[in-house]
Copies of this chain bind each other. A is one copy, B any other.
Amino acid sequence: MAGTLYGIGVGPGDPELMTLKAKRLIDECPVLAVPVKAEGEKSTAFEIVRPVVDLSKKKVLEVIFSMSKNSSDYWKCGQVAGDQIIEELENGNDVAIVTLGDVSIYSTYMYLEQYVRNKGYNTVIIPGIPSFCSGAALAGIPLTLGNEGLAIVPSAKDNPLVGEAIDRFDNIVIMKAGNSVEKIANMMKRRNVPAECATIIHNVGMEDQYIGPIDTDRKYGYFTTIIIKKGKKDW
Could you list which residues of chain A lie within 8 angstroms of chain B, going by C-beta atoms? 9, 11, 14-21, 23-24, 52, 69, 71, 74, 102-108, 110, 113-114, 117, 123, 125-130, 133-134, 136-138, 140-155, 159, 161, 164-165, 168-169, 235
**Contact in complex: A146, B140 (CB < 8 Å):** no
Known: A17-B19, A20-B16. A105 touches B151 (CB 8 A): no
Name the CB-closest residue of B to A75: B234
**Contact in complex: A18, B16 (CB < 8 Å):** no
**Contact in complex: A149, B127 (CB < 8 Å):** no
**Contact in complex: B117, A140 (CB < 8 Å):** yes
Chain B residues within 8 Å of A105, by CB: 133, 142-144, 150
Chain B residues within 8 Å of A134, by CB: 127
Name the CB-closest residue of B to A129: B127
Partner of A154, one of B106, B133, B148, B152: B148
CB distance from A212 to the nearest CB of B (A): 16
Partner of A127, one of B9, B136, B144, B168: B136
**Contact in complex: A151, B154 (CB < 8 Å):** no
In the A-B complex, the 9 residue pairs with the closest CB atoms:
A104-B136, A16-B21, A125-B137, A104-B143, A127-B133, A110-B142, A150-B152, A127-B137, A149-B153
CB distance from A67 to the nearest CB of B (A): 12
Partner of A165, one of B21, B142, B149: B149
**Contact in complex: A114, B235 (CB < 8 Å):** yes
Name the CB-closest residue of B to A146: B71
Complex alpha-carbon distance, A71 and B153, angstroms: 27
**Contact in complex: A18, B19 (CB < 8 Å):** yes
Known: A20-B20, A161-B149. A123 touches B140 (CB 8 A): yes
